[in-house]
Chain A
C-alpha cells in the first residue's frame, strides 16, 4: 500500500500511519505544523526502516491540496490510498460564541474536506482506482445538543462519502467512512471520557482492517454502532430533553 495520511502528526491519524508503517506499507505524512510533521515522519521512518516524507497540507488552505498530493505521489512513486483524519473540533459553546472559529470549522470539516476528496477522487480514478478513507464522526448521525454545529458538518460529510462510494465503487474507487465515537486523543483532551471511550491504537487497527477489506462504513470503538442506532430511534421530544 502507498498511502498519504492527512492528520498523520496527531491522534488517530498518527496511529493509523504508524500501523501502516509497522506492517511495511509506504506512508507519506500530511498535516500542519512542520516541526510536528517532521517528528512524526521520523517516527515512521524508525518504525518502518524506510524513508518517510512529509509536506504541509492545511484544510483551511485548499491551495495546498494539489501540490501536497503531487509531492506525495512523487515520493511514494504513485498513490493508491488516501486517509483523511484532520478536522477542527470545538465545543458547542465555543462555536456559538466565536464566529471566526465557527466559519473555519464549517469550512475545514465540510467544504474543504469535500474539495480535497474530489481532488483525490480524480487522481485515484485516473490511475484505475484506489481507497479513500475519511474520518467523519458519530456526531453526524443525529442532531444533538452538544454537537449541533460540529455534527452538522460531519452529517454532511458522511452523506457525501456514502454517495461517493455508491457512485464510484464499480470504477475501483473504494470510499470508507469512519465514524469514531469518543476516542482519547489531543482533540478530546479535557473532556470526561464516557463509557466505550476508545484508544487511538485500537481505532487504527480497526481502520486498517476496514481499508484492507474495503468496508464502506465502520464505527470505532464498535459499541458506538449500537449506541447510535438507539439514538437515531429516539423521538424528538426525548432528544429535546436529554443532554446527550
Chain B
C-alpha cells in the first residue's frame, strides 16, 4: 500500500511526495509508487481552470483537470483539445507526462506539440515554470517524461476551434493486413482522424481482417442534431471468470465485431463513440478476468515500404499468447519530448491476456523485433519490458536521467517504472 494523498491543494500534498499520479489509466507501473509505503500525491481534485483566452484559445488549468470535464465544459462552446487519447478518464498532467497521441497523430502530432507552459514542483521542492523559451530543457523533458522530472501542478495548452461537436465518420471493412496498412496511409491524406482495428485471432485467409475508421469534425451544415454529452455508462460489476476468456471465446467475439462492422458506411457519429468507445463500459478491464491483460504498444518505423510492419504481423502470429485485439495507427511526427514515444511509422497497440512467463516471453520477442527495426515502445502502456531491452531501443535514456539529476540531485522523484527501467533506487 502506498500512502496516497488527495487534495485540492496540490502544492501542499506534493511537498513530501515522491510521485504525483492522476486517474491511473496508464496500463503499466508508471503511476505506481517506487516502494511500498512511499508517499505519493493524487492530482484529481486539483482540477480548476485558471484562465481561458477566447481569442487565442490558450487554456491554463490545474494538472488534475480530467479530459472528461474539459470536454463537457468546452466542446459545447466549440473548443476542444487538438489531441485526445482513447479515453477521457485522464488528467491534463497525465496527458503531458505521457505525451499522449490520438487518431490524428499524422496531422497534429502529440499532445506535447500543443503544450505551451508547465508549472511544476521539482524534486528539490522548488516550484518552477517552464516553456519552449524558459527552461526549455526542463519543459521538453517533462513532456513525455512519465512524471519523473517533477510534480506537474499547472499546464497551459493550445485549444482548437471545432465547427461542431459531432464527428463525420467513415468506416471501411478490410480483409487483409497489407491493404489495411496501405489504406491507413492513404486515408490519412484526406482524413485528420484515422485508426484501424484488426482481428488477429482469425485463421488463414481471415487473419488480419478488420475495420478502418476515418473521421473529421462535422461541419455546421452536417451536424443537424443537438449533441447531448450526458452519456449513459454501464459498469462491469465483477471480474469475468477466467474460463470464459479463452482463445475460442475471443475469436467468436472478434468475429461478431467484424460482422457487425458490416459493409462500408459514412455518417454522423457521436464524439464519445468515436473517440472513447470503451469509456461507456466502466471497469471494462474486468472483462479480462482476475488475472487481467497487458498492453504492448510499439512504433515500427516504415518510410515508404510496409515490409517491417508486415514482418511484425508475422511475428505476432507466432506468439504463444493470443493477441485479443490489435489497434493500428499511423504516426508521422516525432514527439517533442526528450523521451517521447512517437516516431514516423505504424504503431501497434496489442491486448494480450496475462499468463505467467508466457506473457513475459511474448513481450520479450516483440521488443527484440522493435530493437532490430529501430522502433520504440510506449512506456505508458508498458509493465513488462526489460531494462536492457529499453536501453537497447532508446539511446536517449542516459541524457534524460542526466537532466533529471540536475533538478533532483537526491533522486527523490521516482516511480515503480523508473525503478524497473531507469535504474532508480527502490
Contacts and interface: CB of A to CB of B under 8 A. Distances in A.
Interface of A: 9-11, 14, 22, 33, 36, 39-40, 42-43, 46-47, 185-186, 189-190, 201
B276 interface: no
A186 B9 CA distance: 10
Contact of A46 (B6, B9, B42, B50): B50
12 contacts: A10-B8, A10-B45, A11-B8, A33-B9, A36-B9, A39-B62, A40-B8, A42-B50, A46-B51, A186-B6, A186-B45, A201-B69
Q: Which of B9, B50, B62 has the most chain A CB atoms closer than 10 A to its own CB?
A: B9
A42 B48 contact: yes
Contacts of B7: 186, 189
A101 B41 CA distance: 25
Q: Which 7 A-B pairs have the closest CB atoms?
A: A43-B48, A189-B6, A46-B49, A43-B49, A186-B7, A46-B52, A39-B48
Contact of A47 (B9, B45, B73): B73
Nearest to A199: B44
Contacts of B6: 185-186, 189-190
Contacts, number: 44
A203 to B, nearest CB: 14
Contacts of A9: 8
A47 B69 CA distance: 11
B234 to A, nearest CB: 14
A29 to B, nearest CB: 12
B90 to A, nearest CB: 15
A11 B9 contact: no
Contacts of A39: 48, 50, 62
A185 B73 contact: no
B70 to A, nearest CB: 11
A170 B73 CA distance: 37
A47 B49 contact: yes
Chain A at the B interface: SS class: helix
A186 B52 contact: no
Nearest to B42: A189
B8 A186 contact: yes
B418 to A, nearest CB: 25
Nearest to A185: B45
Nearest to B47: A43
Interface in B1-28: 4-9
Nearest to B48: A43
A39 B69 CA distance: 17
Contacts of A40: 8, 48
Contacts of A14: 8
Interface in B73-109: 73
A43 B73 CA distance: 11
A189 B62 CA distance: 19
Nearest to B76: A22
A39 B62 CA distance: 10
A39 B49 CA distance: 8
B137 to A, nearest CB: 29
A11 B45 contact: yes
Contacts of A185: 6, 45
A40 B62 CA distance: 11
Nearest to A33: B9
Nearest to A187: B6
A121 to B, nearest CB: 30
Q: Which of A9, A22, A47 has the most chain B CB atoms closer than 10 A to its own CB?
A: A47
Given A46-B50, A189-B4, A189-B5, 4 more contacts: A10-B45, A14-B8, A39-B62, A185-B45
A228 to B, nearest CB: 21
A18 to B, nearest CB: 8
A122 B284 CA distance: 51
A190 B2 CA distance: 10
A14 B73 CA distance: 15
A161 B69 CA distance: 32
A43 B59 CA distance: 12
Q: Which of B4, B5, B45, B73 has the most chain A CB atoms closer than 10 A to its own CB?
A: B45
B73 A22 contact: yes
Contacts of B73: 22, 47
Nearest to B77: A49
Contacts of A33: 9
Contacts of A189: 4-7, 42
Nearest to A195: B237
Nearest to B5: A189
B21 to A, nearest CB: 13
A189 B44 CA distance: 12
Contacts of B8: 9-11, 14, 36, 40, 186
A86 to B, nearest CB: 13
Nearest to B68: A201
B54 to A, nearest CB: 9
A135 B62 CA distance: 27
Contacts of A46: 49-52
A10 B72 CA distance: 20
Contacts of A10: 8, 45
A43 B8 CA distance: 12
Contacts of A43: 48-50
A178 B160 CA distance: 39
Nearest to B59: A46
